[in-house]
Amino acid sequence: MKNIVKGRWRVAVALGAVAALGLSGCSLNEDNASSGSGSGNGSVLRIGTTTDVSNFNPLQSLSKTDSWILNAMYPHLLRIDENAKKAPELAKEYKYEDGGKTAVFTLRDDFKWTDGKPVVAEDVKFSAEMIMKYKLGNVAAKLTWVESIEAPDATTVKFKLSQPYAPFAEGVGFWMSIVPKHVFESAGDLSKFPNDSNWVGAGPFVLDSMTKGQRYVMKRNENYPLAPGGKAAVSQVEYRVYPDVNTMMLALRNGDIDMMGTPVPVSAAKTFENDSKIKLEKVGALGFAHLTYNMNNKHLAKQEVRQALSMSVDTKAIISSVLQGDAQQMAGPISPIFADYDNTEIQPYAYDPDGAKAKLTAAGYRDGNGDGFFDGLTIGVACDQSNANITRVVQLFRESAAKAGIKLENQCVERNTFLTRTKNGEYDIDATQWGVFDNPMDQLRSTYLSSNPGGINYNLLKSDEMDKLINDAAGTTDPEAFKVKIKNIDKVVHEQAYLTPLYVENFQFAYNASKFTGFVASPSDLLGMVTAYSLAQVTPVK
Amino acid sequence: MVRFVLSRALKAVLTVWIAITSTFFLLRLLPGDPTTLMVEGDMTPEMQAALLKTYGLDRPLWEQYVSYLRELLQGNLGISFRQLQPVTDIILDRLPWTLLLAGTAFILTIAVGIPIGVTAAVNRGKLMDRLLQGFGISANALFVPSVAILLLVFFGAQLGWFPIGGAIDPDTRGAAAYLSLAHHLVLPVLSLVLVQLGPYALTLRTNMIEVLGEDYIRAAQARGLSARRRVWKHGLRNAILPALTLMGLQLGTLVGGAVLTETVFAYPGVGRLIYEAVGQQDYPVIQGAFIMLAVTVVIANALTDMLYAVLNPRIRL
């Protein structure tokens, strides 16, 4: 009997173990069976990413990490180059007709979908129309002005607009993914189309297989005209999922991956200094850190208070301590990365707590109780507490503002709460960092135009003057006149101190230079080194 | 016994319903909605409304709840907001990994915890007991993510003995795949076992000391039974009964611990899925994952109760 019991236990344990292993083990690498090649092959580029692909539908996805994979599969009309200027991708060129009311793109004729069909104007028309029909992603906002789309031949697409909008072609060209009409049109409602298998793309790489939570394998498109030689030198790109940037850094150092998709934090970049294989590439940002003042606050509605606050921020100290000097100070609301629009006539408000005090005194504020703070002038500063840099900025701002007699309350909260409060205008000062602005006009329209309810007018500004200036510039298709108008808006925002721009961060991307070379970095952490164009230029080191 | 089983089953159903309902409403009490996280640049109110309609979040809360329950009764966990795929498929894709991780940790905790508890009890007051108690108390104070990060940095990054992420080397096949699987499992399992082991061993020690003082053990000694037989056959059989309850409770902790462990080690289980879904406010995935975990824990607890009743008929009275 004893032996039988023992035997039963052994069998049960063995069965349990086999079942458990079998459950995972059998399906383990099943998805990858078709990929064939292993990482022992020198032309496999392994990239670290922080999350799984949440949505494979490029017309709908809004995730940064999704875009690293999807942008390599689905072409865009334009790309952004190292200097933040738009460069041709699927479109060879674009122009405006009818006084700016028609945007015309001329496409290349050598892009092909991986099923052999050519990429044609009808694909572009279909993609845009589906975005408009189902209101997909953020691109839908950029198509607001479109009345109709024509594809008179295979390489021409015409967008008829209700009114001229100067950066229309740039915005749509850069943001809109082009999908194969012959594949997507049979999916019906594209807002519900997951596109999670049998991928057909026209970028340098196309997804081949995936093991969720672990890796995404992309195979080379044998026909990609923007790669030297007509196809990428790397035969396979593999994205591996890591929980956070620190683990990813360990994986890069251990040789598990060849590059990091996310930027290396400034504080951690030094850890790579002693590793001869790892190289860091520095790129600028398309967004910037800033303080935005809520105009519905009775104090912040006053220009003098906003200016005094701008004088109370020790931006240089912030850059030095928070970013270890690796950022550029800004004066107006347009990032200096857009060189054509950089207004050198304006200078940042100098850090001057005494000057700020004098300005507030002149505006009628008093310190009646002698506590060192102006009476009744207590202002909250809201931020996302998961952003370590901005949290530190708020702390330093509080300390420097106190020297100017301004009492600030730290109101940094959990991210969702912060976003909800921001959306509802429940804050005094909003300390945050913009994500990606690909052109100044979209930025100004989004942040200051009072009649743009979908924008991010966190000032809650309602200014006839600004509305007029923005609408006037938006309809100006002459490039030179446009630049002048943008610089003028820049000046007004600076004088009014609607916001205090803080810094444009530099991002650093790390990769194993002993194995791969040739990356073409683009500004921002959204694009960085993992754009379609960049991946198509990479070559293995011999 | 039938009445007992029915009563336990009813309680299990009630527990799952409470878990479903509280998860549903708690998620919606969170600030914002899934579209809040998507506002980056322009998103017109029309677009936001279209998204909310697609997600079914434009309807009154009670209507959403009733509809959700109706779908659940038909075995439908819904469609993920972000991935646009059935939640059941998404979870079933991840569940085997969590079962493997938590299951291995569970078995190892028991396999190692029993000898530790028994040895400490047998050597009560001696150096061995004090050492094992010290270990148990220290392990009791451990926090899963801290242990996991320490193991990851030391054994993964510094010594390079174990992988620092993932569940398997993607390029392995056949026997090599199973070896790779086990290799990847070591650190996550170890972090869970280290944390679970303390309470388990200490409870067993206490029970064992109590049992070893019982009359029937002394009687067995008088009958000339060997110490080994007295302890491991007669003593352990009775001492392990209260520890069974702890095992059931530990399953819940294990599942919670797996969420944290999977996040630290980029292990592709349900825990990691929850972590990502919470970040995206993907309600259907979070709800589905919690239901799966709740059902797993409730079933395990119910089975423990029933097993307890089988082994100790007095509690059925």
> What is the amino acid identity at position A433?
Q
CB contact under 8 A, A456 and B41: yes
Check CB contact under 8 Å for A54 and B157: no
Most confident of A399-413, B41-55, B209-223: A399-413
C-alpha of B38 from chain center: 32
Contact present, A125 and A73 (Cβ < 8 Å): no
Chain B hits for A55, Cβ within 8 Å: 82-84
Q: Which of residues 178-197 of A touch B (CB under 8 A)?
A: 191-194, 196
Model pLDDT, residue A35: 40
- Of B313, B253, B301, nearest in space to B13 by CA: B301
Cα dist from A406 to A138, A368, A394, B55, whole Å: 38, 14, 13, 45
Is the Cβ–Cβ distance between B74 and B85 less than 8 Å? no
* pLDDT per position as a tens digit, B4-34: 778 888 888 898 999 999 999 998 888 777 7
The maximal CA–CA distance of chain A, rounded, in angstroms, is: 98
Residue A76 CB-density burial (10 A; 0-12 exposed, 13-18 middle, 19+ buried): buried
Q: How far apart are CA A448 and CA A431, in angstroms?
A: 17
Q: Are A145 and A162 a contacting pair, CB within 8 Å?
A: yes
Amino acid at A229: G
Buried b (16+ CB within 10 A) or exposed e, A119-158: bbbbbbbbbbebbeebbbbbbbbbbbbbeebebeeebebb
Which chain B positions have a beta carbon within 8 Å of A423's beta carbon? Answer: 32, 36, 39
Domains of chain B by start residue, with CATH: 87-161+188-311 (1.10.3720.10)
Q: How far is it, in rounded angstroms, from Cα A250 to Cα A265?
A: 13
For A279, counting Cβ atoms within 10 Å of its Cβ (0-12 exposed, 13-18 middle, 19+ buried), the class is middle
Pairing state of beta strands A259-260 and A44-49? parallel
Q: CA A399, A294, A366 angle in degrees (round to 5)?
A: 55
With CB atoms and an 8 Å threshold, state whether A141 touches B181: no
Say what the pLDDT of residue A6 is.
46
Could you give the CA distance from residue A401 to residue A313 in angstroms, rounded to a whole number? Answer: 7
Say if CB B312 and CB B241 are below 8 A apart: yes
pLDDT, residue B119, reads: 86
Facing residue for B47 by CB, picked from A39, A250, A454: A454
Share of chain B above pLDDT 70, in %: 95
**Dihedral sign of CA atoms B46, B52, B56, B57 in order:** negative
B122 to each of A48, A518, B117, B225, B267, how far by Cα in Å? 51, 67, 9, 16, 39
- CB-neighbour burial class of residue B241 (10 A; exposed 0-12, middle 13-18, buried 19+): middle
Burial of A106 (0-12, 13-18, 19+ CB in 10 A): middle
CATH fold, domain A285-505, is Dipeptide-binding Protein; domain 3 (3.10.105)
Going by the DSSP 8-state scheme, the letter that residue A187 receives in this structure is G
Amino acid sitting at position A426: E
Residue of A238, A192, A251 whose CA lies nearest to A211: A238
Do the Cβ atoms of B41 and A63 come within 8 Å?
no
Q: Do domains A75-185 and A285-505 have the same CATH topology?
A: no
pLDDT of res. A4:
41
Residue A511 phi, psi dihedral angles, 5° rounding: -150, 165
CA A192 to chain centre: 24
- pLDDT for position B6: 85
What's the whole-number mean pLDDT along residues B72-94? Answer: 89
DSSP reduced 3-state for A220: strand
Q: Does A62 touch chain B (CB under 8 A)?
A: yes
Q: Which residue's entry shows tokens 């053990």? A: B217
- How many Å apart are CA B136 and CA B226, to the nearest integer? 28
Q: How far is A226 from chain B (nearest CA, A)?
A: 29
CB < 8 Å from B in window 7-26 of A: 13, 16-17, 20-21, 23-25
Higher pLDDT, A29 or B140: B140
Residue A514 buriedness (CB in 10 A; 0-12 / 13-18 / 19+): middle
Asked whether A425 and A296 are in contact (CB, 8 A), the reply is yes
Contact between A20 and B281 using a beta-carbon 8 Å cutoff: no
* Residue at B152: amino acid letter: L
- Residue B166: its chain A contacts at CB < 8 A? 214-215, 240-241
pLDDT of residue A8: 46
Residues of B in contact with A23 (CB under 8 A): 96, 99-100
- Residue B245 CA, chain-centre distance (Å), reads 15
DSSP E strands: which ranges in A264-401? 278-283, 289-293, 327-329, 378-384
Distance CA B15, CA B301 (A): 11
Quickly list DSSP for A418-477: HHHHHHHT--SEEEEE----SSHHHHHHHHH-TT-TTS--TT----HHHHHHHHHHHT--
3 state DSSP class of A256: coil
Read off the pLDDT of residues B147-164 as tens digits, 9 standing for 90 and up. Answer: 999 998 899 888 889 988
Q: Which pLDDT does position A124 carry in this prediction?
A: 98
| Class in CATH terms, A41-72+203-277+513-541 | alpha beta
Mean pLDDT of successive 10-residue stretches along chain A, which has 542 residues: 44 46 50 42 83 88 85 96 91 94 96 96 97 86 91 97 92 95 93 91 94 89 94 94 86 90 86 89 90 95 96 95 91 89 89 96 93 94 90 95 95 87 90 88 90 79 93 89 93 95 92 94 85 95 84
**d(C-alpha A101, C-alpha B102), whole Å:** 62
The CB density around residue B137, as the number of other CB atoms within 10 Å, is: 12
Q: What is the DSSP letter of A504?
A: E
Q: Which residues contact B188 (CB under 8 A, 6 or more apart)?
A: B101, B105, B148, B261, B262, B264, B265, B267
Q: Closest Cα of chain A to B127: distance in Å?
A: 33
- For A460: left if phi > 0, alpha if psi spans -120 to 50, otherwise beta; the answer is left
* Cα A78 from Cα B52, distance rounded (Å): 31
B175: nearest CA in chain A? A25
Amino acid B315: pLDDT:
59
> How far, in Å, are A291, A413, B254 from residue A428 at the CA level?
10, 14, 44
To the nearest whole angstrom, how far is the Cα of B170 from the nearest Cα of chain A? 6
Tokens 């999704």, located at residue: A66
The Cα–Cα gap between A346 and A162 comes to: 35
Comparing CB atoms, the residue among A20, A141, A242 nearest residue B42 is: A141
Which tokens belong to A287?
Answer: 């967004």
* Residue A479 contacts residue A341 (beta carbons within 8 Å): no
What residues of B are in contact with residue A194 (Cβ under 8 Å)? 83-85
Q: At residue A536, what is the residue type?
A: A
Burial class (CB in 10 A: 0-12, 13-18, 19+), A334: buried
Interchain contact, A32 vs B170, CB within 8 Å:
yes
Portion of chain B with pLDDT greater than 90, in percent: 17
Question: What are the pLDDT digits (tens) for B225-259?
Answer: 777 777 777 777 777 777 777 777 777 777 777 78
**Domain A75-185 in this protein, CATH class:** alpha beta
Whether pLDDT at B221 is above 80: no
Which residue, A239, A225, A85, is CA-closest to A167?
Answer: A85
Which residues make Cβ contacts (< 8 Å) with residue A339, sequence separation at least 6?
A: A83, A84
Among A330, A332, A341, A286, residue whose Cα is nearest residue A80: A286
As a whole number of angstroms, the distance between CA A359 and CA A370 comes to 18
Residue ranges in A323-367 assigned as alpha helix (H): 353-362
| Helix or strand (DSSP H, E) at B258 | helix B236-264
Q: Left if phi > 0, otherwise alpha if psi is -120 to 50, otherwise beta: which for B266?
A: left
SS (H, E, C) A455-469: CCCCCCCCCHHHHHH
In which order are the strands placed within the sheet that holds A44-49?
A: A205-211, A215-220, A236-241, A44-49, A259-260, A507-512, A278-283
Which one of A20, A29, A192 has the shortest CB-CB distance to B84?
A192
Residue A453 confidence (pLDDT)? 64
Spell out the domain ranges in chain A.
41-72+203-277+513-541, 75-185, 285-505
pTM, two decimals, is 0.82
According to DSSP, residue A54 is labeled -
Report the pLDDT value the prediction gives residue B313, as an integer from 0 to 100.
65
Residues 6+ apart with CB under 8 A from A99: A164, A477
What pLDDT score does A161 carry?
95
